[in-house]
Amino acid sequence: MGEFTDEEASRLEGHFSNTTGDIFVITTPNQVDRGALMSRYSRSSKSMRRVFLDEFLNNPDRGKKFYERVLMEYGDDSVAELGMAQVAMEGLSNIAAQKIEDRRIGLSFLEKSSRYVSWGAKSGGRYVYYRGPDIMESRHEKIYEDACDLSFDTYVYSLPLVKAYITEAYPIDDFPFRDSSSFADKPFSELTAEVDIKSAERAYRNATNSMALDLLRGLLPASTLTNLGVAGNGRAFEYLISTLKSSRLYEERDLGDRLALELKSTMGPFIRRASEKYGKLLEEYLTELRHASGVLRSAVAPAAENRVRLVSYDTQRDALDTVVAGLLYENSDYTFEDLRRVVSERMSDQQKRDTVQTFADLRKNRRQRPPRAFELVSYVFDMVNNFGMFRDMHRHRVLTLQRQLLDTKHGFDVSPELEEAGCSRDFAECVKRSGEAYEQMAKTDATMAQYVVNFAYRYQYMMRVNLRELCHLVELRTLPQGHQDYRDAARRMYEQVCDIHPILSQIMKFVDTGIYRMGRIGPEKRTMSKILEAGESPGAAEPVTKKDPSGAE
């Protein structure tokens, strides 16, 4: 006989994925009950489903009261991690989005892309950028709106010009496409099957569109409104709310209030402290931290070029001994201290090199992460890159990243391809106008002035990253389809680590330092192949027109 009677099993339906197995999913609809049940279960001799029948099923307030007692009376933060939520945050600026994404632990993010989605659409006859009362009711309203409108006007005006340049500079016939009858790659002009032609046109269209958006995203101001999906646990959301409510910016404080209000209906007990005594104390503490750091102005002129500089690292010998000891530790009887001494004193350089190479050889693709021993060595980089690129690097969370206010003093980037497309002058004039608006606004409030700064402006931050995470970062960010800005930055990080740690850097096997004419075309072709293999239609695509030398189509 099973643990439950037929009647009990029937009552458990809808609350657990099964009533007989040792592994089951908690499906009871009440979020608070799911978390409270897990916490209560850890201190009971009963099975979880029995605890639910005995204590929760007929007591609708059981979970809520449990959390109020544990969190408020005992401050047991770990139980707040048992509640989960998926939240959509729409229409927030890129300044606020980065503030939220600063939270590295307990939250995961998905943000609207600036690489695959055009941002030139209007809503109610106006471009979609931040228009909060802190700016629109200030004396900077006109200069701010004029600068932001010019940024979007230039973006919209330039987009078809850049697309036309790309199709001429990178014609579709320059790229091979799969022929479904011969399974061989052929030039576009030699494709005969309609499905192959449509597939090739769609892949090419997607790749050229992505490239155009890549080249122009530097025009977008930080005020651009984006959408952000956030998944996380109650403890992380509670801290996020307090962080937002302690901000100097009206938008972020308002987001904190509204986030707390929405989460209250689904996971109220998990985030309740953010609005009570402990939350208020945390807000005060975060504000005091900001004030205590002060503002130090450098007497040295700031960097006026892109910078990726390795500024702190271990010697090659110390780093190698530490990692090799870590690689051998789990299958040894030594303490780590003793094992590291053995490695240092008894192993030859060749033996250490062979040990690292053995583990490097085991990796067959970039998704096979190196062993944790490579986390024992870290590097600090000084970074000055455009803000658009920073947003991509900011998504890496297993590292320490500290950043400054967004400003204009480091200059801005203009892609050489925009000059070839005939758009660089308009681009530069637009960005300079934003810089002038920033200077005026910063005299009153440098924090608020960040909103008007374009993605093209260079941004200063520092990054401390261990070798295992660096391996993931540079292998991901040098993929051919990546934005060229972060491909270059990742390549420079990789090369500097190779210079100082030539043996350990062997673990980074899948770094791609190649130069590609249109890196996005490969993934787009693979996507089309998968669509066709699944028996689906490649979908409609505008025919790719070719221009003769006279300019006639």
Alpha helices in 294-315 (DSSP H): none
**Mean pLDDT along residues 129-147:** 98
What pLDDT shows up at residue 274?
87
Please check the confidence at residue 73 and state whether its pLDDT lies above 70. Answer: no
What does DSSP say about strands 107-111 and 176-179: parallel, antiparallel, or unpaired?
unpaired
As a three-state string, the secondary structure of 327-373 is: HHHCCCCCCHHHHHHHHHHHCCHHHHHHHHHHHHHHCCCCCCCCCHH
**Mean pLDDT along residues 352-361:** 97
Give CA–CA dist 272/77, Å, rounded: 12
Please check the confidence at residue 460 and state whether its pLDDT lies above 90. Answer: yes
Single-letter code of the amino acid located at 426? D
Do the Cβ atoms of 457 and 435 come closer than 8 Å?
A: yes
Give CA–CA dist 533/262, Å, rounded: 43
385 φ/ψ angles, rounded to the nearest 5 degrees: -135, 160
**Domains in the chain and their CATH numbers?**
6-82 (no CATH), 85-114+221-291 (3.30.70.3180), 307-406+457-507 (3.30.1360.170)
**Mean pLDDT along residues 530-544:** 65
**Mean pLDDT along residues 84-89:** 93
Q: How confident is the model at residue 278 (pLDDT cuts 50, 70, 90)?
A: confident
Alpha helices in 364-466 (DSSP H): 387-393, 416-420, 424-442, 446-449
Q: Which of 252, 245, 237, 248 is nearest to 281 (CA)?
A: 245
**Mean pLDDT along residues 178-203:** 90
pTM strictly above 0.75:
yes
Ranking 50-64, 71-85, 144-158, 383-397 by mean pLDDT, the lowest is: 71-85
Give CA–CA dist 172/190, Å, rounded: 12
Please name the residues in contact with 199: beta carbons below 8 A apart, sequence gap of 6 or more. 177, 178, 528, 529, 531, 532, 538
Q: How confident is the model at residue 545 (pLDDT cuts 50, 70, 90)?
A: very low
Do the Cβ atoms of 549 and 210 come closer than 8 Å?
A: no
What does DSSP say about strands 225-233 and 107-111: parallel, antiparallel, or unpaired?
antiparallel
What pLDDT shows up at residue 468?
98
Q: How many residues does the chain have?
A: 553
Q: Which of 505, 515, 507, 506 is nearest to 478 (CA)?
A: 515
Give CA–CA dist 76/70, Å, rounded: 6
Give CA–CA dist 453/408, Å, rounded: 7
What pLDDT shows up at residue 188?
92
Q: Which of 105, 401, 391 is nearest to 239 (CA)?
A: 105
Q: pLDDT tens-digit profile of 482-503?
A: 999 999 999 999 999 999 999 9
